[in-house]
Amino acid sequence: LPTRPARADAVLELTFGTQDDVVRAYSKNIGTGGLAIRTTRALPTGSTLELRISLPDLPHQALRALGQVVWSREDAMGVAFTQLPPDAERRLKSFLTQDDSLLKRVRGVLKTDVMELLTKDVRDLGKGPAPQAATAVELDTRVPVLVRLSDARLMTLITELFHQKGLRVVTDSDKPAPIIVVDTGSALDVLSTAGRAGSRTIMVNVSGPDSLMGRLSNLNPAAFVKNPASAASVLLAVERLLSAPR
């Protein structure tokens, strides 16, 4: 059987142009054969379009390609590349390889930490004093971090990694949290209910203040995690804020 082209569930900034308009959107996933685009301006199946996609290696030099819509629905569409220049293909393959490697490393960290905990628990059985009967409800003393992102896979990885590192991911915006992690799709909704004095915001998949537009430009985040974000890079941003003086 032919090898399936590499694919990454990456949120990348892009624009697609038709004969009448240029639309800004974001990818849901991307591979060497095409990509899925999250947009409210989905085109009919069979439409041809010109794409400009921002990759992390050279964010100011967009990858250019031609494509054709192969499926379309109200909030998204799938596009197959019909023309991808050699240099663009090389950059895309390099990005996909790095994304796959990073995901494997994060999973490896999680697996190693879990195995170490299990091994330690087995070794220590019977060494300590007998456990006492609980007299009160045990309090969760882990630092809460409010995380609300559009990327479900990234949310899952962050939850697993933060749990291993002693942080508690919360998604309920009615409860206060010292650090709030959001992206451009969730920022306004979350901060309108969860934004409190003293809370610090981390914007994910945003390169910096100049990338924020419209109402988002007034959010004044404390930190940014550049695109494409990973669980490890988000954890690093959170740890830096927790260790920084207020």
- Mean pLDDT confidence for 45-60: 88
- Give me the residue label for tokens 């330690």: 120
3-state secondary structure of 158: helix
Kindly tell me if the per-residue pLDDT of 59 is higher than 50: yes
- Using a CB cutoff of 8 Å and minimum separation of 24, what contacts does 215-224 make? 215/188, 216/184, 216/187, 216/188, 219/187, 219/191
* pLDDT recorded at residue 239: 87
pLDDT in tens, 73-88: 988 999 999 999 999 9
- Give me the residue label for tokens 């390169």: 207
Mean pLDDT estimate for the chain: 78
Which region among 67-71, 93-97, 167-171 has the lowest average model confidence (pLDDT)?
Answer: 167-171
Q: 0.75 exceeded by the pTM?
A: no
Q: Which domains does the chain have, with CATH numbers?
A: 7-91 (2.40.10.220), 143-246 (3.40.50.2300)
3-state secondary structure of 47: coil
- Whole-number Cα distances in Å, 81 to 2, 9, 29, 35: 18, 17, 13, 8
Where does the pLDDT of residue 43 fall: very low under 50, low under 70, confident under 90, or very high at 90 and above? very high
Where does the pLDDT of residue 118 fall: very low under 50, low under 70, confident under 90, or very high at 90 and above? very low
Smallest CA-to-CA distance from 76 within 29, 127, 114, 116 is with 29
Kindly tell me if the per-residue pLDDT of 51 is higher than 80: yes
Which region among 52-61, 96-105, 156-165, 211-220 has the lowest average model confidence (pLDDT)?
Answer: 96-105
Where does the pLDDT of residue 100 fall: very low under 50, low under 70, confident under 90, or very high at 90 and above? low
- Mean pLDDT confidence for 209-228: 78
- What are phi and psi for residue 170, nearest 5 degrees? -120, 150
Which of the two residues, 183 and 102, has the higher pLDDT score? 183
* pLDDT recorded at residue 37: 94
